[in-house]
Amino acid sequence: MKKCLIIGNGKAPEKKTILFLMKKGYDTIICADGGLHHAHKLKLIPNYIIGDFDSVDGNLLEEYRGKSKIIQIKRQNDTDIEKCLKYAVKQKFTNAILLSVTGDRLDHSFCNLGIVLKFHDEINARIISETSLLSVYEKHAIIATKKGEYISLYAFDSKTKITSKGLKYPLFNTQLPFGIRESTSNVAVADEVYLIIKSGKIFVIRDFETMRKYDLFS
């Protein structure tokens, strides 16, 4: 698997999180436009800086010429995070972790949640926000867990049906259409959770700190 980190311009990530992810093979860093400010403060040199550069300080960007590959894409029909994901797909990355893609702007946060769905067929993109990890699943999934870990599941329309094994509140061909029903703060009761997902994709949100503590992240 070819892995990368994409750093956005939302709430700053913790360096310990980035170092942990780099040890897990996410050692290519892509900054989305103003995400360079976070990298600079954390003393990281990104491999790529991509965007239309309307939110990064021009003098700071110049500091990284010769250190990072700088790619300006001026088109306005996609966001800087989308530009980064499209580049990652083109470079044949299979996995991406998105950091700093949530924060003060609810519209930006909501947009970035949708982006991981949009690109799921091309790249396995996941989001880490604060202590949570958001992943997209479809069809079948076997998830290594820790008993007592909170796991939340969200679908998007009534066509999608979910069956689970290993959760305190089991699902049996259950529909979880967004805005109508959800499985928030479900609990793992086994070391593995099995999911069968019919006719669609779902979000699964887990506690990243638990995953890190018990070496459940890959």
Q: Give residue 119's identity as a one-letter amino acid code.
A: F
Integer CA distances (angstroms), 168 to 4, 7, 148, in order? 34, 35, 9
Which residues of the chain fall short of a pLDDT of 70? Answer: none
State the DSSP H helix or E strand holding residue 73, giving kind and residue range, or none if neither.
none
pLDDT at 108: 87
Structure tokens at 67: 């250190």
Question: Sign of the C-alpha dihedral, residues 156, 119, 204, 47?
Answer: negative
Q: Give residue 59's identity as a one-letter amino acid code.
A: N
Q: Give residue 7's identity as a one-letter amino acid code.
A: I
pLDDT at 14: 95
CA pair distance 51, 60, nearest whole angstrom? 14
pLDDT at 46: 98
Do 52 and 138 form a contact (C-beta atoms < 8 A)? no
Angle at 12 (CA atoms; ends 8, 16), nearest 5 degrees: 110
Contact residues for 214 (Cβ-Cβ < 8 A; gap 6+): 146
pLDDT at 77: 86
**0.85 exceeded by pTM:** yes
pLDDT at 75: 82
Do 216 and 145 form a contact (C-beta atoms < 8 A)? yes
pLDDT at 176: 96
> Domains of the chain by range and CATH?
3-130 (3.40.50.10240), 135-213 (3.40.50.10240)
